[in-house]
Structure 1
Amino acid sequence: MNIQKTAFQTNHIFYKILLFVLLFSASAKAQIQKVEPPFWYAGMKNPELQIMFYGKNIAQYETSVSNNVAIKNVEKTENPNYLFVTIDTQNLKASELVFSFKANNKVAFTQKYSLKERRANSADRKSYDSSDLIYLIMPDRFANGNPKNDSNASLTEKANRTEPAGRHGGDIEGIIKNLDYISSLGATTIWNTPLCEDNDKQHSYHGYAQSDVYKIDSRYGTNEDYVRLSSEMHKKDMKLVMDYVTNHWGITHWMMKDIPTKNWFNQFENFTQTHHRREVITDIHASKIDQEVCVDGWFVPSMPDLNLRNPLVAKYLTQNAIWWIEYANLDGFRVDTYNYSDQTAMANWAKSITNEYPNFNIVGEIWMHNQANLAYWQKDSKIGAIENYNSNLPSVMDFTLQSQVTSAFNESEGTWDNGMIKFYNNFAMDYLYPNTNNILVFAENHDTDRMNDKFKYDFPKYKLAMTLLATVRGIPQVYYGSEIGMGGDKGKGDADIRRDFPGGWGGDKNNALTKEGRTAEQAQYFDFTSKLFNWRKSNEAIHTGKMTHYIPENNTYVYFRYNDKKTVMVVFNNNAKAQTVKTNRFKENIKNFKSGKDVLTGKTFDLATEITLEPKSALVLELE
């Protein structure tokens, strides 16, 4: 009888312990739904790490960390489902930490957290610069390397290639499989429009309304696929640029269902959309309400505006950016809608990143058509210094030049204001910029008119535009498909300027990704572009040399790029008729050179008296 009682008691205790363990495990799983950043790296210059724990009523628990790690701050908000814990990682080695969450002095559950080893020389990584050519890809429209991931049960919008503005199935695998094509064009760097999850019900293909900024959209692939893209590119000496968005997320972002704090997003009493008049940011006469609506208004109704003045938000975005750099081994950022956010917060964001990575390049989208407005936003701007402001943003996009490319080359007769004088006037304003070599130059991107459409598919005009981009100061960027003559009418909607690349999908009748598959017209475009930009790759006079240009005459324009070792003379004839350019005027730069060899045709031109150019043509002459 006593033996049976003892056995019963033993079993009873065993089952109570088992029940406790099961309940404890279930509690831990249910309690923590998200940890962001999901892991971090040892040896960062800024040792403070803010970890966000998300789970039901998690703020009621007291927190401690293993390994004698110091907790510098624990911040709770009015939402009890969030806990922001800041720890000091100074002198910590790669290891696994354990966070304990206590209630009534008893550990309710724990959470493991990894500090990983950084790559060797991670802080000193080289970024993209003026020696590069950036190839801009809209991944959903480039190539479908893995048809199995075209749709996902957990994401709303499914693949439908018959819908122009739908998901078409392009993915990371499609980019990886076509890296040789991109490299053969002369491109050294790829900028993809955002690849993080965008769970909008429609038009999610563009990626700018992100629903999870720590997760690659499964219709593009996985986080591991993105890391593999970076790795495969680096094997080919190519660089990967992430399109980063600081101003807004998507309406379907997981936080929108349970906002961490009321001022995580900018909100007015009634829905307020930005007026897009960003001149008010630097306007000394601007009203406060105009400035407030500009910065705090939502970009569109489906994109909640992030409040970077909230320190929790600012830290979250800074760490997210750094996490992607480390995790995916990135080579740079392009930042969307850069000056729609609070300018002080953005300066701090950029400074935090470049403090960790001194050579890391970040180009901001400042979509304005005035050089002073653009130059204000580049790091160390003298214009910004008037207001004691430094953006810390290394690079800006040259939208003033972009708008001239698709207009000037359509103007076959030069006047006081039209034709090649537009380029002269643009570069005459370069004194405003702190660093003209580090400006992104382009004729088009995923938001603008397509260049070939604006030129009515006139190949000579395309050649003029590409020659300009390849030989002026700055970092050239080419939009996917233009190099094979692709176009699109923005008047028909954004989807038309974001068409599928022919050959990117199995069954495409035309495969322009291969030499054999290109039509004669596509080959004409590609061969010219490839020869031009592959020549540019090794020409330091173009990358970092000085520039001297001459006032256009008769709609012709001449400039020189040069350093101590090489001089390149670029001559444009923007007329519908042949033109002869007298060389005596350019003796200042021609000096004792006798001839110039055209890098595209191999033809040699005598510089003694004059050069004759065909209609709508350009020469790129290496002087000898």
Structure 2
Amino acid sequence: MKKLLYILTTLFTISISAQIDKMEPPFWFEGMNKSEIQILFYGKNIAQNSVSVSNNVVITNVTKTENPNYLFVTIDTKNVVAQTLKFQFKNGKKSFSKDFEIQKRKENSANRKSFDASDVMYLLMPDRFANGDESNDSSSKLQEKGNRSLPGGRHGGDIQGIIDHLDYIQELGATAIWSTPLCEDNDKGYSYHTYGQSDVYQIDARYGTNEDYKRLAAEMHKRDMKLIKDYVTNHWGAEHWMFKDIPTYDWFHQFPGYAQSNYRMTTQFDSNASKRDAKYCMDGWFVPSMPDLNQSNPLVLNYLIQNAIWWIEYADLDGLRVDTYSYNDKDGIAKWTKAITDEYPYFNIVGEVWMHDQAQMSYWQKDSPIAKIQSYNSYLPSVMDFTLHDAFGNVFNENNAGWNDGVIKFYDNFTNDFLYANPNNLLIFLENHDTGRFNQIYQNDIKKYQLGITLLATTRGIPQLYYGSEIGMAGDKGKGDADIRQDFPGGWKGDANNAFTNSGRTEIQKQFFDFTKKLLNWRKNKEVIHSGKLTHYIPENNVYVYFRHNDTESVMVVLNNSLDNQKIKLNRFQENLKGFTSGNDILTGKTIDLKEELSVEGKSSLILELK
């Protein structure tokens, strides 16, 4: 009897010791530039085991931390073809195994084409866009349940809802989608924005599955559209499984525990900044519910690099947008960015650098002439053009031009393009999910919207449109974030207004949509807009004139921001008009003679393809 009890006890102990709760990444790929892969094994006292692997694969390093529930095992997958490896764990007489798959890589994966200035990016918040699968509005495994009656609650939008309306986005003329994060966010409330992630290898069950996300990319690629993942390197959520059982004390920044960021990103490059201020910018937490990741810890940095590459490869992504880029450890985030672009040489990554000075934003772009002064290179291909956004927020209410008022703000913004390594690779936008709604600021004045979207679609950079702007959606940020993140009308069964269809749109929604559709679809095939030179002229009488031109094409854009009709003398534009006698107005289809004067109505624009 004692012997039987001993055997049963031993078997029970072995089964307990054999428990691996997490293995990350869950698999890897053959033929990767990053061939050394560090696998995280997590389970009760896993570090007490020795580890080996099958098929003559070399283990190059085993790292243990002060937490015995973690074991980091590095293997070299160079020249390892697609197959299933078996990891053997042994602790005395007890042993168990775990399979790890090396999967076949998509052909020519490394050379994938990313987003660029030929694209128009459509930013959407999945929870607020469309509910394609009502069965996943809540999950038994996640705390917050669906509640559409709560403005800041989960409303049920999901990946299927995006797939269901890809034709709508394509019809509009957008060629890429940036969705706010889709990985699991298990916060008790306010989890719909998904920036406080609790598992970065798992799509939130209320949005769908990992396979659904992969299917979204595949459906988009059938339409020659691109999928951009919103990636967060700076922080996770307090519900992240690793924060509940920290691998190593310095996995997160600790003071000890919580300390608030000072949000002063200038301390990252300010040669006069105190070390304390710089530390509290980089290491301070964004908010108490978002533990700040320590990218200077090699284990953390490698984990984030592998996770990003895994998603790109697994889901077949076309780009990344990185949240709060300039709050990261500046050296760590540069290594992260370079590792990804080394793996994918033509891959574009745009970082959120929410600053209000071109030199300061330029600092964070790859090969910046500003950062070069300090021998720093972020390797980040693109940054978000917040100074242009600032101008969009008030210009069209400034009817009377002054030295600093009106469209001169646009002109002044572009005069600083010399500060950027690549101004054509800036993300430009009227608004996004964190800012005031453009149509709220301008009280749904369609003329002002048309002026804004005209500039957005014809100047240098990569245009980004926020969901719903194209149908006149507004929202007051003063009432809270939920008001600028309202549900798209028609995305839920029973919605009285379905703006996804022409017949379901109101008359004003049709005016917004039809103008946007015409402009963006014209832009699709206009190389002169994608990569042509920008030449602009000092505004007069609140009228801004600029040209996009290359060796074969020239486009003249006129923005009349005054209330009055204007007659524009054309002789001052002869360096760009020489040889052209007329222009086709792409907005009206009319041919306009280019003689001595050009008439432009108040609060209106012209886009002339020169002939």
Q: Same fold (TM over 0.5)?
A: yes
1:417-432 mapped onto 2 (5 Å cutoff): 417-432=404-419
Measured in 2, the distance between the counterparts of 1:156 and 1:65 equals 38
8 Å CA contact retained: 1:28, 1:110: no
8 Å CA contact retained: 2:14, 2:94: no
309, 317, 320: which one aligns with 1:333: 320
Aligned to 1:26: 15
Measured in 2, the distance between the counterparts of 1:538 and 1:46 equals 36
* Pairing 1:505–2:497 present: no
Measured in 1, the distance between the counterparts of 2:10 and 2:100 equals 21
Q: Secondary structure in 2 aligned to 1:40?
A: strand
Aligned to 2:296: 309
* Pairing 1:394–2:402 present: no
Measured in 2, the distance between the counterparts of 1:415 and 1:606 equals 30
Q: Once superposed, which parts of structure 1, at least 4 consecutive aligned residues long, lie more than 2 Å away? A: 15-29
8 Å CA contact retained: 1:24, 1:108: no
TM-score, with length taken from structure 1: 0.96
116, 123, 139: which one aligns with 2:110: 123
1:148-163 mapped onto 2 (5 Å cutoff): 148-163=135-150
The alpha carbon displacement at 1:94 in A equals 0.6
Show CA shifts across 1:172-200 (max 9, x none).
00000000000000000000000000000
* Pairing 1:70–2:79 present: no
Aligned residues: 611
Aligned to 1:4: none
8 Å CA contact retained: 1:600, 1:620: yes
Show CA shifts across 1:194-222 (max 9, x none).
00000001100000000000000000000
526, 543, 561: which one aligns with 2:513: 526
Alignment CA distance shift 1:20-1:96 (3 Å): farther
Measured in 2, the distance between the counterparts of 1:295 and 1:327 equals 31
8 Å CA contact retained: 1:598, 1:622: yes
238, 263, 269: which one aligns with 1:251: 238
1:37-436 mapped onto 2 (5 Å cutoff): 37-104=25-92, 106=93, 108-269=95-256, 271-436=258-423
Measured in 2, the distance between the counterparts of 1:371 and 1:21 equals 66
* Pairing 1:469–2:469 present: no
1:535-614 mapped onto 2 (5 Å cutoff): 535-614=522-601
- Whichever residue aligns with residue 21 of structure 2, its letter is Q
The alpha carbon displacement at 1:267 in A equals 0.9
Supply the RMSD in Å over aligned alpha carbons: 1.6
Measured in 2, the distance between the counterparts of 1:285 and 1:118 equals 48
The alpha carbon displacement at 1:355 in A equals 0.5
- Whichever residue aligns with residue 297 of structure 2, its letter is N
Q: Percent identity?
A: 63
TM-score, with length taken from structure 2: 0.98
Unaligned runs of 5+ in 1: 1-11
The alpha carbon displacement at 1:460 in A equals 0.2
8 Å CA contact retained: 1:24, 1:109: no
8 Å CA contact retained: 2:17, 2:45: no
Higher Cα radius of gyration: 1
The alpha carbon displacement at 1:280 in A equals 1.1
Measured in 2, the distance between the counterparts of 1:607 and 1:347 equals 50
- Whichever residue aligns with residue 449 of structure 1, its letter is G
Show CA shifts across 1:82-126 (max 9, x none).
00011111110011111111123x451111100000001100100
Measured in 2, the distance between the counterparts of 1:20 and 1:56 equals 17
Show CA shifts across 1:44-103 (max 9, x none).
012110000001111111111111111111111000000001111111001111111112
Q: Secondary structure in 1 aligned to 2:243?
A: helix
Measured in 2, the distance between the counterparts of 1:434 and 1:157 equals 44
Measured in 1, the distance between the counterparts of 2:12 and 2:218 equals 43
Alignment CA distance shift 1:163-1:502 (3 Å): same
Unaligned runs of 5+ in 2: none
Aligned to 2:429: 442
Measured in 1, the distance between the counterparts of 2:65 and 2:5 equals 36
Q: Secondary structure in 2 aligned to 1:256?
A: coil
8 Å CA contact retained: 1:100, 1:107: no
The alpha carbon displacement at 1:600 in A equals 1.0
The alpha carbon displacement at 1:24 in A equals 7.6
